[in-house]
Amino acid sequence: MDIFKKLEILTDSAKYDVACTSSGVDRTAMHGGLGSTVSCGICHSFAADGRCVSLLKVLMTNACVYDCKYCVNRRSNDVPRTTFTPRELAELTIHFYKRNYIEGLFVSSGVIKNAAYTTEQMIEALRILRHEYRFSGYIHAKGIPGASEELLNELGMLADRMSVNIEMPSNDSLKLLAPDKTKQSVLEPMRFIRDRKIENKNELTVYRRAPRFLPAGQSTQMIIGATPETDLQILNLTEGLYRKYGLKRVFFSAYMPVVEHSLLPALTTKPQLLREHRLYQADWLLRFYEFQASEILDEKNPSFNPFVDPKCNWALNHMEFFPLEVNKASYEELLRVPGLGVTSAKRILRARRAASLDFDALKKLGVVLKRAKYFLTCRGKVKEGVRFRQDEVLQSLMSKKEFQMYRSSFFLPDGTKQLSLFEPPVVLAEDVQKCLTGQI
Amino acid sequence: MPDGTDIIYYYDGSFEGLMCCVFESFIKGELPVEIVGPGEHQVSLFAQREIVTDIEQARRVIAGIGNKIGGEALQFIQRSFLTCLPGKERSILLFLRKGFRVGQRIMRMPTDDAVNTLFNAVRHLSNEVHLLSGFVRFSIHQDVMAAEITPKNYVLPLLAPHFVDRYPNERWLIHDKTNSVVVLYEQGKTQLLEVEEFTLPAPDEEEVKFRELWKLFYDTIAIEGRYNPKCRMTHMPKRYWENMTEFQPGGKAGAENEKPRETAAMRVLPEAKRLVK
Ligand code: SF4
């Protein structure tokens, strides 16, 4: 098979993995080599679906001995199969890298023969890159459940980040849809990586130049919408993963119906993009805004509000917390204001040391006031013409049509009387697109 | 210092030249209505003065800024000078006038007008540098990697170090078509060269192959069910597309139709007009 066909097949079957970040390490090229990484990560392009393209994201092979029901590569699926040789993959990476197409490589794989053999193939590709080409660019490798700790360690000494996908938000769903995997087989490598990283940290304090194990840590991914878990369950699981395994990121992937199966949503089902988006917003709140999962959702409100983002939703339910005085509020408090992000909050903190701020000053700082103005006072005054009432705030956040729908959906900010949430009316589709591109 | 003096300064467009304008303005106690670089002469009602660049004098001004307003402010105006802000020269002068009055504190005053204008311009510049660190596309011609960009700001002095870290053992160049300047890197050294005309040679077979492979990858990686062109445009404004491989018309055919340009990249360089820095 020629390289074009191979690349097409192995890209096509890798594209459902959503992780493509290249962040978390700072490094310049080694002597006689090429490649660097920057901790903020770099997007090299954006695909037609609006997602960042940072890494050459491909599978080593799309052949697989397993039969996970939701996966295009499952054994029982009748599709053409192909495999990169480690050298082919390494060379392609270098050629792309030199042209600045990519920040590095993200290699995942179907399970060919067994977990050990598959991992060895990936190790060989990475060895060629790191040792023959002296490549210091970013590498993300998939940890294959079932591979030995020795192999995982070897892979981890070559890669910057590893991910072991948890795939499904609960053990039951995993059992049902991925009969060859168990929660145990997924959590085991995660635990190993966590412990090995702690050990490596100690090695590094003893000897600063000790080789580094996965400097950008580990991440995971789960599929949303193929199984019946609630948002609350998913968010709690996410929080648990961050706390227990020290994960750098948890990714969510709205299920794309690629397979006809009685256990799965019909092929005509639309991916739950809005839900996925809300999960990412909530995930940001956990990681950067010092929120707890229990503040975002609880047994009484186990689902996200489709009309209002989680932070705004929290604010609407905690009107007593606001308005906050811009010139006095702490950093943590500012982060609770809808429309204020980490950057804005930091800018405010810095600027108000020199002079007390009014709304004009906020604008100059690049703070977007569309939402924030309802929740802030400057020198004790609210913004002209703004009334701090739940109703007004809501109306300003939505279009007229949305507001009416919101009203007729009986979905009240206090969480009472909600109808089925994740079948929002079709008119919303466009707004989803809008909010997918926006920030919290 | 009077706030409006009906005079226009002309200078040679260099940072040192601007520093001499600053000096002139302070010595004469006047605030020019405009400070204009080369090639922008126009008929005007105002009196005009040519400010001659005196490197020694510029050095003293720069040292003065470092001592009185601080290193951070100095770096800040150097960056401001690279921005595409209209009338940046006068804005820099206004910033320095204030800076000499209030000292280091000026860097903590982002809402002050004199500071804010430059802050926003520098933010725009830094954003563009960050975006381009990903969007730059090199072609490989024999053993030289070459790229073209059309930025709004004068980004090369900030962009080049990123690629020096990345490709320290390669020979490469980036041609900024907006500002007619090329950064050339070879054996640990970067040079910034002003060029008038500069074209890259046609791609060879191997180069065409990898362009095609990249386009194939790019087209394949998107998930059709999530098509979202608006989102793509927000993250990657269209003006960057013209220099990106994935948006060039059909690889093989396209390349053959392109009439081969005889000017080899490396032949052009020695003819480069003038060393900027
Ligand atoms: S093991 Fe991975 S590649 Fe194989 S079927 Fe399951 S999800 Fe797909």
DSSP string for residues in B202-220: PP-HHHHHHHHHHHHHHHH
Same domain, A56 and A95: yes
Asked whether the beta carbons of residue B222 and residue A51 sit closer than 8 angstroms, the reply is yes
Q: Which residues contact B212 (CB under 8 A, 6 or more apart)?
A: A4, B251, B252
CA distances from A392 to A151, A358, A432 (A): 58, 22, 22
Q: Is A156 contained in some domain?
A: yes
Model confidence at B4, pLDDT cuts 50, 70, 90, reads: low
Same domain, A277 and A328: no
Asked whether the beta carbons of residue B223 and residue A16 sit closer than 8 angstroms, the reply is yes
Q: Is A304 contained in some domain?
A: no
Q: What is the pLDDT of residue A270?
A: 83
CA distances from A323 to A107, A156, A311, B85 (A): 48, 48, 15, 37
Each residue of A375-403: pLDDT tens digit? 999 999 888 888 777 777 777 777 777 77
The pLDDT of B32-53, averaged and rounded, is 86
In 3-state terms, chain A is what percent helix, strand and coil (to 5)?
40, 10, 50
For helices B55-68 and B15-28, the axis angle rounded to 10 degrees is: 80
Number of domains in chain A: 2
- Asked if B165 is an interface residue toward chain A (Cβ–Cβ < 8 A), one would say yes
Domain ranges of chain B: 5-126, 136-274
Q: Please give the structure tokens belonging to residue A355.
A: 């002079």
- Identify which has the larger pLDDT, B262 or A196: A196
The protein residue whose alpha carbon is closest to atom 6 in ligand 1 is: A68
Q: What is the pLDDT of residue B263?
A: 34
Query: Which residues in chain B have their CB less than 8 angstroms from residue A1's CB?
Result: none
Of A10, A15, A60, A68, best ligand 1 pocket probe by most atoms within 8 Å of the beta carbon: A68
Q: What is the pLDDT of residue A176?
A: 87
| Whether residue A314 has its Cβ less than 6 Å from ligand 1 | no
Query: Which residues in chain B have their CB less than 8 angstroms from residue A101's CB?
Result: 137, 214, 245
Same domain, A354 and A210: no
Backbone angles phi, psi at A334, to 5 degrees: -60, -35
Q: What is the pLDDT of residue A20?
A: 74
- Asked if B59 is an interface residue toward chain A (Cβ–Cβ < 8 A), one would say no
Q: What is the pLDDT of residue B3?
A: 53
- Asked if B188 is an interface residue toward chain A (Cβ–Cβ < 8 A), one would say no
The three state secondary structure string of A237-280 is HHHHHHHHHCCCEEEEEECCCCCCCCCCCCCCCCCCHHHHHHHH
Ligand 1: which atom is nearest the Cα of residue A109? 3
- Dihedral of CA A384/A385/A389/A390: which sign? negative
Q: Is A126 contained in some domain?
A: yes
Arithmetic mean of pLDDT over chain A = 88
Q: Which residues contact B40 (CB under 8 A, 6 or more apart)?
A: none
If you search the block for the tokens 């990484």, which residue do you land on? A37
Min distance B167 CA to chain A CA atoms (Å): 5
Q: What is the pLDDT of residue A433?
A: 39
Asked whether the beta carbons of residue B110 and residue A45 sit closer than 8 angstroms, the reply is no
Percent of chain B with pLDDT over 90: 73
Judge whether residue A63 has pLDDT over 80.
yes
Q: Looking at this protein, which amino acid is placed at residue A225?
A: G
The pLDDT of B179-195, averaged and rounded, is 94
Same domain, A141 and A221: yes
Min distance A67 CA to chain B CA atoms (Å): 22
Q: What is the pLDDT of residue B272?
A: 35
Beta bridge partners of A55: A104
CB A68, CB A177: distance < 8 Å = yes
| Whether residue A72 has its Cβ less than 6 Å from ligand 1 | no
DSSP structure class, residue A224: E
Q: Give the CATH number of the domain where residue A90 resides.
A: 3.20.20.70
The pLDDT of A322-326, averaged and rounded, is 93
Q: Testing the interface with A: which of B232, B241, B247 to mutate, by most A Cβ within 10 A? A: B232
Arithmetic mean of pLDDT over chain B = 87
Of A12, A67, A71, best ligand 1 pocket probe by most atoms within 8 Å of the beta carbon: A71
Asked whether the beta carbons of residue B168 and residue A29 sit closer than 8 angstroms, the reply is yes
Asked whether the beta carbons of residue A353 and residue B170 sit closer than 8 angstroms, the reply is no
Same domain, A159 and A248: yes
Q: Is A254 contained in some domain?
A: yes
In 3-state terms, chain B is what percent helix, strand and coil (to 5)?
50, 15, 30
Cis peptide before A323 (omega within 30 of 0): yes
Q: Please give the structure tokens belonging to residue B158.
A: 């900030």
Judge whether residue B68 has pLDDT over 70.
yes
Q: Please give the structure tokens belonging to residue B99.
A: 């800076």
Same domain, A286 and A356: no
Interface subset of B 193-212, CB within 8 angstroms of A: 210, 212
Same domain, A115 and A202: yes
CB A360, CB B114: distance < 8 Å = no
| Whether residue A110 has its Cβ less than 6 Å from ligand 1 | yes
Asked whether the beta carbons of residue B213 and residue A103 sit closer than 8 angstroms, the reply is no
Residue of A14, A16, A13, A430 whose CA lies nearest to A252: A16
Each residue of B134-166: pLDDT tens digit? 999 999 998 899 999 999 999 999 999 999 999
Chain A with chain B: Cβ pairs closer than 8 A: 171
Model confidence at A407, pLDDT cuts 50, 70, 90, reads: low
- Identify which has the larger pLDDT, B260 or A119: A119
B157, B244, B268, B266 alpha-carbon torsion, rounded to 10°: 90
pTM for the complete prediction? Answer: 0.88
Each residue of A158-186: pLDDT tens digit? 999 999 999 899 988 988 898 888 888 89
The pLDDT of A130-150, averaged and rounded, is 96
Same domain, A198 and A126: yes
Same domain, A362 and A277: no
Distance from the CA of A303 to the center of ligand 1, in angstroms?
Answer: 29
Residue of A159, A1, A165 whose CA lies nearest to A93: A159
Q: Strand, helix or coil at A398?
A: coil
Each residue of A249-267: pLDDT tens digit? 999 998 888 777 888 888 8
Q: Please give the structure tokens belonging to residue A411.
A: 């979905």
Asked whether the beta carbons of residue A53 and residue B168 sit closer than 8 angstroms, the reply is no
- Identify which has the larger pLDDT, A374 or B264: A374
Same domain, A15 and A153: yes
Model confidence at B28, pLDDT cuts 50, 70, 90, reads: very high
Model confidence at B88, pLDDT cuts 50, 70, 90, reads: very high
Q: Is A10 contained in some domain?
A: yes
* From A47-61, B13-27, B29-43, B248-262, the region with the lowest mean pLDDT: B248-262
Asked whether the beta carbons of residue A57 and residue B221 sit closer than 8 angstroms, the reply is yes
CA distances from A365 to A23, A158, B90, B148 (A): 27, 42, 21, 33
**Nearest Cα residue in chain B from A45:** B135
Asked whether the beta carbons of residue B213 and residue A42 sit closer than 8 angstroms, the reply is no
Judge whether residue B256 has pLDDT over 50.
no
The protein residue whose alpha carbon is closest to atom 3 in ligand 1 is: A110
Q: Looking at this protein, which amino acid is placed at residue A352?
A: R
Q: What is the pLDDT of residue B223?
A: 87
Q: Is A130 contained in some domain?
A: yes
Q: Is A322 contained in some domain?
A: yes
Same domain, A113 and A193: yes
* From A195-199, A287-291, A346-350, B252-256, the region with the lowest mean pLDDT: B252-256
- Asked if B126 is an interface residue toward chain A (Cβ–Cβ < 8 A), one would say no
DSSP structure class, residue A129: I
Q: Is A108 contained in some domain?
A: yes
CB A35, CB A94: distance < 8 Å = no
Work out whether strand A138-142 and strand A161-163 pair parallel, antiparallel, or are unpaired. parallel
Same domain, A158 and A208: yes
What domain range includes position A46?
A: 3-259+271-290
